[in-house]
Amino acid sequence: MAKITLSKLTKRFGEYEAVKGIDLTIADGEFAVLVGPSGCGKSTTLRMIAGLEEITSGEITIGDTVVNDLAPKHRDIAMVFQEYALYPHMTVRKNLAFGLKMRGYKKGEQAPLVQEAANMLGISELLERKPRELSGGQRQRVALGRAIVRKPKAFLFDEPLSNLDAKLRVQMRAELSRLHRRLATTMIYVTHDQVEAMTMGTKIVIMKDGLIQQVGSPMEVYRRPLNQFVAGFIGSPAMNFFKAMLVQRAEGVYVEAASFRVPVPERLCGPYQCVLGREVIFGIRPEDIHSFELLQQQQSAILPECRADSMICGEVEVIEPLGPEMLVLVKCGDQTTVVRLDPRLDLEVGQDINLQLDMEKMHLFDAAHPHARIEAP
């Protein structure tokens, strides 16, 4: 088990800087997820930690040791890739034992470790089979087993579930979380899927263009994204954004966008004073927009703080029923807004709909570079 620290870590491929000086500390036993769009430098970062990629500058520490010049096999970490290659001619048992054998474990020492890993992953029935006799999920488990069998200081995963079908992925996600709880070993998991990041990570590291954008717990980054990129990346469907202006009127402060005007809750007026009269990006998540009619029908107490004038009108463009909820695309002015609504609501494409924004959950970002969050407590 070990803490992992990256400081001012960079990686250049010729002229191209793939990782641009990142600082990150992953505590002992933590499940950290590196998440970000394709090409942002996740795999490169992970490969540098594993020692598979030379670093250009900076420092990597595992436990108390600076590992910059340490060969991969001396770093005592295990890595599982998307393209895991099991040895096709070996049984599952031999595949699991192979790494131990290479590290000089005797036969008698190998057997109990293999059995323990197989039990933990529920593959002890499969030990005498060859990889081609296994399903995709079973093979994935063997690949994981090969990593956990030798109890390394840390695990590194690079999109290990992306070859599995959706159902199996959900199942393996839960198994990995369970495995992490049992082993309590430091894990770093790379994915471009924000749902995977949110559900598995105890710490999420959002990357873009070789830089870290934000580090925090899943709920921290969801509730308080530090810039517009993180706000749009974490949460599904993504947050809605509108170009807007914050305006002081006699009745209070308003967010004014091209097609609507809604009041800022009094609590937030103070913190937002600094951007009065300036162009901002107003953000609101699909789950923080409600159907006004439904709220009224239910005489709902969901939005006690909402003022009657925090309503916007639009036309229903698309309805996507998902069972427990429906996603509705509503055209407001020249912009489409995504709303997550109760499926009991009787809606038809083309009809008008009144939406109530939960302005307590509003986000504001700087309209100019670097689209930073405008802080409110």
Footprint of ligand ATP (CB under 6 A): 13, 16, 18, 36, 38-44, 192
User: Is the Cβ–Cβ distance between 44 and 87 less than 8 Å?
Assistant: no
Instruction: Give min distance, CB of 299 to ligand ATP, in A.
Output: 47
User: Is the Cβ–Cβ distance between 163 and 82 less than 8 Å?
Assistant: yes
**Pick 26 or 114: Cβ nearer ligand ATP:** 26
42 to 71: interface string for Mg ion, x by CB under 5 A: -x----------------------------
What does 13 bind: ligand ATP, Mg ion, none (CB cut-off 5 to 8 Å by kind)?
Answer: ligand ATP
What does 18 bind: Mg ion, ligand ATP, none (CB cut-off 5 to 8 Å by kind)?
Answer: ligand ATP
What does 110 bind: ligand ATP, Mg ion, none (CB cut-off 5 to 8 Å by kind)?
Answer: none
**Pick 221 or 329: Cβ nearer ligand ATP:** 221
Structure tokens at 21: 């000086």
18 three-state secondary structure? strand
**Pick 43 or 140: Cβ nearer Mg ion:** 43
Partners of 22 in beta bridges = 9
User: Is the Cβ–Cβ distance between 142 and 114 less than 8 Å?
Assistant: no
Instruction: Give min distance, CB of 254 to Mg ion, in A.
Output: 44
Measured on CA atoms in the order 55, 57, 62, 64, is the torsion positive or negative?
A: positive
What does 2 bind: Mg ion, ligand ATP, none (CB cut-off 5 to 8 Å by kind)?
Answer: none
Instruction: Give min distance, CB of 52 to ligand ATP, in A.
Output: 11
Under DSSP, the state recorded for 264 is: P
What does 340 bind: Mg ion, ligand ATP, none (CB cut-off 5 to 8 Å by kind)?
Answer: none
Residue type present at position 89: H
Instruction: Give min distance, CB of 128 to ligand ATP, in A.
Output: 35
Which whole-number Å values give the CA distances from 77 to 121, 188, 267, in the listed order?
A: 19, 11, 49
Sheet architecture: strand order including 311-321: 289-291, 352-357, 311-321, 326-332, 335-341
- In angstroms, the CA 107 to CA 100 distance is 9
- In angstroms, the CA 277 to CA 279 distance is 7
Instruction: Give min distance, CB of 192 to ligand ATP, in A.
Output: 4
Sheet architecture: strand order including 186-191: 77-80, 154-158, 186-191, 31-35, 203-208, 211-216
Size of site (CB under 5 A) for Mg ion: 1
Instruction: Give min distance, CB of 290 to ligand ATP, in A.
Output: 35
138 binds Mg ion (CB under 5 A): no
Q: Name the closest residue to Mg ion (Cβ).
A: 43
What does 192 bind: ligand ATP, Mg ion, none (CB cut-off 5 to 8 Å by kind)?
Answer: ligand ATP
**CB-facing half-sphere around the CA of 123: CA atoms within 13 A:** 31
**Pick 191 or 337: Cβ nearer Mg ion:** 191
Count Cβ atoms below 10 Å from residue 45 Cβ, excluding itself: 29
Residues in touch with Mg ion (CB under 5 A): 43
